[in-house]
Amino acid sequence: MTGSKMTEPKITDLFIIGGGINGCGIARDAAGRGLTVTLAEMNDLASATSSASTKLFHGGLRYLEYFEFRLVREALIEREVLLQAMPHISWPMRFVLPFHKDMRFDNDTPTSKLLTTFMPWMKGRRPAWLIRLGLFLYDSLGKRGILPGTSTVDLTTDEAGRPLKSKFKKAFEYSDCWVEDARLVVLNARDAQARGATIMTRTEVLHAERRADHWVITVKDHASGETAEHHAKMLVNAGGPWVADLLRQTLGQNSRETVRLVRGSHIVVPKLFDHGRCYFFQGEDGRIIFAIPYEEDFTLIGTTDADHPNPQVAPECTPEEQDYLVKFASQYFEKPISRADVVWTYSGVRPLYDDGASSATAATREYVLTLDQTQAPLLNVFGGKITTYRKLAEAALAKIGEALPGLSDNWTAGVAMPGGNFLVADVARLTAKLASDYPFLSAYASRRLMRAYGLEAWEVLGDAKTAQDLGQEFGATITARELDWVIKNEWVRTGDDFLLRRTKLNLRLDPDQRAAVDTYIRNKLT
């Protein structure tokens, strides 16, 4: 009688919990260094915070008032590093900051407290010289090779002044960048997968057992209902809003580290102005909001800062937050907006490291990484912002290297994302080439496909010679061929995956059209 030999379980190097920007960024960096990586996301990629940002690669001008110079400098430098790696989903944008003598000063910031201590007559004011000083620092702290510096705008003659109230005569104009946040997450996941990582969506981590030399992780596939067991040398907790709950409940670890959950809400209204610049507005309460050109025919306004204590409660833009944003923006625009103008809202929860700040606005945007090596190593990721996700991933790999020595050097700076291997200046030329190669596309479709897929737009469209070759049409230039491609390549499993995250085409479809997209996708997967 011959005995059977038990097969030893396969042990991967890293198991990452969380398919947001931090989890996918770490997965990409780690896979590129030769580590074996498995990532589990309980919902769709970027289904929480990472698809609900204000969609900017920016240094964080207002963080200067909190003396967060290191964070701002890192973010400013990163803008152009990221811009060059993904010119299809990120592009330069100029920001117009109007001011007037009655602008209020936020008396809760360290800057205001310092200035009003020595210059009490300044209380309640944010004077032009202080704004210009902040913008000088903004221009100087980070390297700029592509983005122009600050200039002064005469709002009485410049087109940027036309939609604004006549009392605004002057503005400063500075540079930051737009980014398609949810697509950024997907591109990181795709690049990680191309480098050998296993990416599992709709896969929830039910339990993780820590042993002396590895972790045993039990997961549930929500599509099939099946459970499976994974083994990994090291576990990375990048659960975003759920990072603290995962740490204590799912992983069973004691820790004093926690996050402060801050809800940021946005409203979308029909286009309020015709130029391509963004507005940076300051409120009487010391807060700021942006009014940003959005999806060609809309304006995005946000964001709020409100504590959101329970991560299990889905964030929503409350009626009070909508009223706040409407009132705030109407203080600047000549034609006031109302709640009736709002065509869509969205809200996300920022998992900020809890530094004991007195207000949600003041809570630090710095990221904190904690490494626990009492048994099999565990890395927890707290906080962070989308602009510094790549630097966070590098810092995470440095921590991982302490537990898994012998890693290769940093490599991600300047390495193009899928579809982005071209220069920022080439976008217009490539869009024209796409339109020439597929003359049946509308001008809008050519722009949209180039901005979504970059050089991979040709792969999406394939050998199509006519519009009919692209199959069923769903509205807003969506075709069956595009849906087939994202189902195959981008983990799309529902209509919302495509319409709310891979694109924002929910804004252009009626309920019946949205249902048709969802039905097509679900039928393809059965």
CATH code: domain of residue 369: 3.50.50.60
CATH number at residue 459: 1.10.8.870
Asked whether the predicted pLDDT for residue 339 surpasses 80, the reply is yes
Q: How far apart are CA 3 and CA 505, in angstroms?
A: 59
* Residue 384 belongs to a domain: yes
pLDDT of residue 222: 95
Least confident of 14-18, 145-149, 198-202: 145-149
Residues 6+ apart with CB under 8 A from 370: 255, 257, 379, 380, 382
Asked whether the predicted pLDDT for residue 6 surpasses 50, the reply is no
pLDDT of residue 116: 45
Residues 150, 173 within the same domain? yes
pLDDT of residue 82: 95
Residues 300, 430 within the same domain? no
pLDDT of residue 120: 41
Element (H, E) at 480: helix 480-489
Residues 160, 267 within the same domain? yes
Asked whether the predicted pLDDT for residue 203 surpasses 90, the reply is yes
* Residue 497 belongs to a domain: yes
pLDDT 10s digits, 226-264: 999 999 999 999 999 999 999 999 999 887 778 889 999
pLDDT of residue 363: 59
pLDDT of residue 489: 98
Cβ neighbour number for residue 511 with a 10 Å cutoff = 7
Better-predicted residue by pLDDT, 508 or 120: 508
SS3 sequence, 290-337?
EEEEECCCEEEEECCCEECCCCCCCCCCCHHHHHHHHHHHHCCECCCC
Residues 99, 155 within the same domain? yes
Please give the tally of structural domains in the chain. Answer: 3
- Residue 509 pLDDT class (50, 70, 90 cuts): very high
Residues 194, 325 within the same domain? no
pLDDT of residue 493: 98
Asked whether the predicted pLDDT for residue 156 surpasses 90, the reply is yes
Residues 274, 389 within the same domain? no
Q: How far apart are CA 343 and CA 297, in angstroms?
A: 12
pLDDT of residue 28: 98
**10: alpha, beta or left? (left if phi > 0; alpha if psi -120 to 50):** beta
**Tokens 């692209």 correspond to what residue?**
470
* Residue 481 belongs to a domain: yes
* Residue 382 belongs to a domain: yes
The phi, psi pair for 66, rounded to 5°, reads -100, 10
Better-predicted residue by pLDDT, 434 or 60: 434
* Residue 301 belongs to a domain: yes
Looking at 349, 373, 392, the residue that finishes a domain is 349
Mean pLDDT of 20-44: 98
pLDDT 10s digits, 46-97: 999 999 999 999 988 877 877 788 888 899 999 999 999 999 999 999 999 9
Residues 154, 266 within the same domain? yes
Among 356, 14, 368, smallest CA distance to 198 is for 14
pLDDT of residue 323: 97
The phi, psi pair for 36, rounded to 5°, reads -85, 130
Residues 195, 169 within the same domain? no
- Residue 290 pLDDT class (50, 70, 90 cuts): very high
Asked whether the predicted pLDDT for residue 338 surpasses 80, the reply is yes
Contact of 22 with 388, CB cutoff 8 Å: no
Cβ neighbour number for residue 103 with a 10 Å cutoff = 18
Residues 385, 452 within the same domain? no
Asked whether the predicted pLDDT for residue 200 surpasses 90, the reply is yes
Q: Is the preceding omega at residue 109 within 30 degrees of 0, hence cis?
A: no
Tell me the percentage of the chain whose pLDDT exceeds 70.
Answer: 91
Residues 6+ apart with CB under 8 A from 252: 208, 210
Average pLDDT over all residues of the chain: 91
Neighbouring-strand partners of residue 134: none
User: What single-letter DSSP state applies at residue 455?
Assistant: G
**Tokens 């152009």 correspond to what residue?**
80
* Residue 308 belongs to a domain: yes
* Residue 70 belongs to a domain: no
* Residue 77 belongs to a domain: no
Residues 166, 193 within the same domain? no
- Residue 295 pLDDT class (50, 70, 90 cuts): very high
CATH number at residue 292: 3.30.9.10
* Domain ranges, residue 31: 11-49+182-258+364-403
pLDDT 10s digits, 375-415: 999 999 998 889 999 999 999 999 999 999 999 999 999 89
Residues 227, 304 within the same domain? no
Q: How far apart are CA 251 and CA 132, in angstroms?
A: 48
Residues 27, 144 within the same domain? no
